[in-house]
Amino acid sequence: MRDVADLIIDRLNGLMPRCAVVLGSGLGSLVENVTEPVRISYRDLPGFPVSGVTGHAGELVAGHLGREPVIMLSGRAHYYEKGDAKAMRFPLEVLKGLGVQSLILTNSAGSVRPDMPPGSVMQITDHINYSGMNPLIGEEGDTRFVGMTSAYDAELATAMRNAAIRCGIPLFTGVYMWFSGPSFETPAEIRMARMLGADAVGMSTVPEVIMARYFGLRVTAASVITNFGAGMTGSELSHEETKDMAPIGGRRLAAILQDMLSEKT
């Protein structure tokens, strides 16, 4: 881990980001808001996963977003690619080794709420690990018993909400339910998710939250809503729809994050 962290430090030319952002499906355009970017392909970072999912560029981008130095991971590996819940363990460990303290996770998700349409942005206030998988399985010692009562940092959440208000952008709040994927949910599963208290469903983020808390990082997260859940409109779901709709809410999320990171995180 230290060798990769040192490799990145050498490329950053003195930049010392304390905040990192992980970009979800179709949200890679958010890196366009980074000024004076330094780009490093995951392929040049031994141990970083190379995603096989379209819409995930697979590169680390560092620079400034607003006034804040930031590292963006443009693309993530998912559990459903190789059945590995800890697919993002190494990148998060490297971020910790770089001195990152705050992590902002983003994803594309499906809404189970009729009042939260595609194009919306939802701040994740809690999650349901419906998949049952956990990235800490196999870790040793008592540190693996990570408390999740305050998995989502209250101060970061407030900063995101205040930024949305300043930008005049509606920001929903809600619970994200993690399904393993890669198939989309059934109408019955969407009805179940609603009954269990979920507001949005998706195939990522939760294992990263768990692992980030294991490494002691402060976490906040947001979903860009790309579709209604199965059975809510009568239309079939597709990854193409996710990629097509993500930039709409992505522009709103980019504005929120840029304003948020103009304040110290």
Task: Look up the pTM and report it.
Answer: 0.93
pLDDT in tens, 167-193: 999 999 999 999 999 999 999 999 999
Query: Would you call 218 helix, strand, or coil by DSSP?
Result: strand
Burial of 217 (C-beta count, 10 Å sphere; 0-12/13-18/19+): buried
CA 191 vs CA 65, 87, 112, 135, 174: distances in Å = 39, 29, 8, 27, 16
Please give the CATH superfamily to which domain 2-260 belongs. Nucleoside phosphorylase domain (3.40.50.1580)
DSSP assignment string, 14-71: T---SEEEEE-TT-GGGGGG-EEEEEEEGGGSTT-----STT---EEEEEEETTEEEE
pLDDT in tens, 135-153: 999 999 999 999 999 999 9
Contact 75, 56 (CB under 8 A): yes
Q: How confident is the model at residue 66 (pLDDT cuts 50, 70, 90)?
A: confident
